[in-house]
A and B are shown apart, each in its own frame.
Chain A
Amino acid sequence: MKHTISVQVENKFGVLARISGLFSARGYNIDSLAVGETEDPDISRITIVVHGDESVLEQVTKQLNKLPDVIKVKDFLKSNIVKRDLILIKVFADKKVRAEIVEIAAIFRAKIVDVAKESITIEVTGNEDKVVAFIDLVKPYKIKEIVRTGIIAIERGEK
């Protein structure tokens, strides 16, 4: 089961190393990890996507909570959340196929951010399913490079 965990941490030296060290030392697999400042510059938020069964996830959250620099840990499994992943994808595209790719991008409400003679770069934002679906559709044109931010998530409503 994939879990999206949102971790509020003190914006301090070494925090990211502590968290990534915890995952590697205990053999937990990170699917993605995104870090950034929050509305409070002293606090950062790390969004981690990790998979494992219930007992693994229980340990992951407890272990994170145990770190003095970690202020709050929330497993979003049962929450109503908005999830976003942003990717930049560079696809081989000569004149012949460029129009087709632009059309696919339009359907996905993706943005063309760069065009060169032999390639086109597209920005896609959305939840994971959408991003994966997009990648699948452009795969036949040969993908040169993909860059992803990793998932970030926020709870819906007033919470």
Chain B
Amino acid sequence: MNGAKIILESLKKEKVNILFGIGGGSVIPLFDEIHKDKDIKFILTRHEQAAAHMADGFSRATGKVGVCVATSGPGATNLVTGLATAYMDSIPMVALTGQVATHLVGNDAFQEADTTGITRPVTKHNYLVTDVKDLAATIKEAFYLARTGRPGPVLIDLPVDIQRDSCKFSYPEKANIKGYKPKTGGHIKQIKEAAKLINSSKRPVVYAGGGVIISKASNELRAFASKGKLPVTTTLMGTGSFPADSELSLSMLGMHGTYYANNAVQNSDLIIAVGARFDDRVTGRVKDFAKGAKVIHIDIDPTSISKIIKADVPIVGDARAVLKKLVKHIEFKERKDWHKQIAKWKSKQPLIYKKDNKLRPQYVIEQLYKATKGNAVITTEVGQHQMWAEQFYKYNEPNTFLTSGGLGTMGYGFPAAIGAKFGKPKKTVINIAGDGSFQMNIQELATCVVNDINVINVVLNNNYLGMVRQWQELFYDKRYSQVCLGKSHKERVPDFARVAEAYGAKGISVCKKKDVMPAIKEALKYKSGPVVMDFIIEEEENVYPMVPAGAAIDEVLIDMA
């Protein structure tokens, strides 16, 4: 069997049935096999970065390993942002790249790039295959690494001659990597120690991150929180891991977190971190973070524990496996005073925005929530709209809010939505976008139109790189440097609805508050391809609350308007 066919047969063994990518000279043998194949669907994208984000979105929506493909050189370098995005958020993915023939590697051949060298810091692991006999085993290892332990993207670089060479195909049963044996169970002594701390805590807070979603531990987290009557705050990545409509939910903490989540954390006597990593957007000034609290830290990645905040009880293990054991050892406690205090914070500073006749982004998202009854899969780009999407849509299920948290990649949301739609074809998939970010992968409208992909883009068009503008407004005396996107404040560029129509997509422009709901309904009814909704929102709306970078998380700015 030739290498190209071995690749496809191996992918099938891993239950892959869809690939996203673009071909080129060094993957022609692979694409020839794809042409003959009937089981694997190939989605031809318009940019490799988008292909990587599609694989990522597919993975986040389903928990399966997404796969993307690119040619050597520029194809591979175009994948880099997508790999880095997945790497920062621990998303299981496999990237296949073509490479120049083995005898040319290192010669500065046409379209040669040192792909494994370039992607080493942004992948969990990568491989250059130099013998067709290693191919099947390498693919097995790559998938195993991608989906186990702390997941992440793995890249396999495939010289073109390896795709042509032949050998007998046999797919290994197991991957055996000497230096890789992730611990999953959690140490029982530590778990009991943690339970003791929880049972004696008066003001505990659970701080849940993306790890809860990755390990499919949402049910266990609910059981754990309700048994101990533990309030739960989630990170941006943990959004959906705990139901937003639960009484115990504090919503998000950190820079744009709620007043009550941040106050609860700061005044707690015990933080129970589950699958989270104390990112600087969460902790603010580290030395003033939850000063009076002991810390229990549950994470599958030992390097995440005690990296930023020293853990009193570290537990290395899979969030789901550990929570399952931990819940048995904790006791029900009322903690009345603590919950009373939290309720006070909640009523003192709920999430609010100005309710007037202007078209405000928060309103658009609230209406979107109403119209979809909270049942959509939401993806986002990066900026203010991303934070509003977190704050004003309520997520009650995991895998329904897909966003680039770690890297903060503009251009992520639209392709991720496309990937998610392939993973969850029955779901309504909506990308909440900014006018800046959407233009970073807008070309994928073509991919959607050609493949009849029904994804809705909600562009919150403020004529600005809004998040940057907000910082300039608040911390640089309104010196708006290189953030206005339009020709003027009257003429926004481009007219997104017309761009959409040019691609053959449905375009809708909305300027008035009263038109929001009818437009959303119209978009939701449309099933024959992509939709772009251009909401001409207030230009200088800000995201609040906000903790300035470097401040403690209870030093909040609240909307002064």
Contact = CB atoms under 8 A, between A and B. Distances in A.
Given A59-B303, A62-B303, A13 B179 contact: no
**How many of chain A's residues touch chain B, expressed as a range?**
20 to 34
Interface in B450-489: none
Interface in A90-113: none
A9 interface: yes
B279 to A, nearest CB: 16
B316 to A, nearest CB: 10
B177 A68 contact: yes
A114 B302 CA distance: 50
Contact of A59 (B121, B128, B180, B307): B307
Interface in A56-74: 58-59, 62-63, 65-72
B140 to A, nearest CB: 13
B355 interface: no
Contact of A71 (B125, B145, B178, B310): B178
B102 interface: no
Interface string B290-309: 00000000000111001100
Nearest to B150: A66
Contact of B145 (A59, A63, A65, A68): A68
B120 A68 contact: no
A55 interface: yes
A76 B307 CA distance: 22
A69 B116 CA distance: 15
Contacts of A65: 179, 302
Interface in B78-134: 116-117, 120-121, 124-126, 128, 130
B117 A17 contact: yes
A66 B301 contact: yes
A10 B177 CA distance: 10
Nearest to B178: A71
A68 B303 contact: no
B120 A14 contact: yes
23 contacts: A10-B179, A14-B117, A14-B120, A14-B126, A17-B117, A17-B120, A18-B120, A25-B121, A55-B310, A58-B306, A62-B302, A65-B179, A65-B302, A66-B301, A66-B302, A68-B124, A68-B125, A68-B145, A68-B177, A69-B179, A71-B178, A71-B179, A72-B179
Interface of B: 116-117, 120-121, 124-126, 128, 130, 145, 177-180, 301-303, 306-307, 310
Report, nearest first, the 7 A-B pairs whose CB atoms are least far apart: A68-B180, A71-B179, A62-B303, A70-B179, A62-B302, A71-B178, A68-B125
